Amino acid sequence: MKKYLPILIFGDVLSLALVTVIGFAAHGQTDLALLPRMMATFLPLLAGWFLLAPLLNLFSPDITQNPRQLWRPVYAALLAAPLVGVLRAAMLGGIVLPIFVLVIGANTALGMLIWRAVFLLIQRRLALVK
């Protein structure tokens, strides 16, 4: 599993970046001038995820190789969402918007579920090849 860890972490980061970009695109905000504002969402999302994921053993082979454990990334995303909201509000000098917390939590949970399911399939395919 250790050889797959960089791929897993890269995929997590890419998934969080996609959640951020898709969120902004859903609001019609895809201009590069909004990059600092995107970072004010992406960086707290990254921090929230990578603070909780190790605590919930989301990088453990026992978790990443078991399809019955795919609920764990969803749970981590939902737990991270309030922290993301607080960090984002602090970066923007604003308040925590409850709807933002709900939406970022749900979208991150879905993004991570999809990515981690794909990662599980990749691991299984590579194990069959060897």
What does 4-40 look like in DSSP terms, one character per residue? THHHHHHHHHHHHHHHHHHHHHHTT---GGGHHHHHH
Q: Model pTM?
A: 0.90
The confidence score (pLDDT) of residue 34 equals 76
Q: Do the beta carbons of residue 96 and residue 87 sit within 8 Å? A: no
pLDDT tens digits, residue range 50-84? 999 999 999 999 999 999 999 999 999 999 999 99
pLDDT at 28: 80
pLDDT (0 to 100) of residue 120: 94
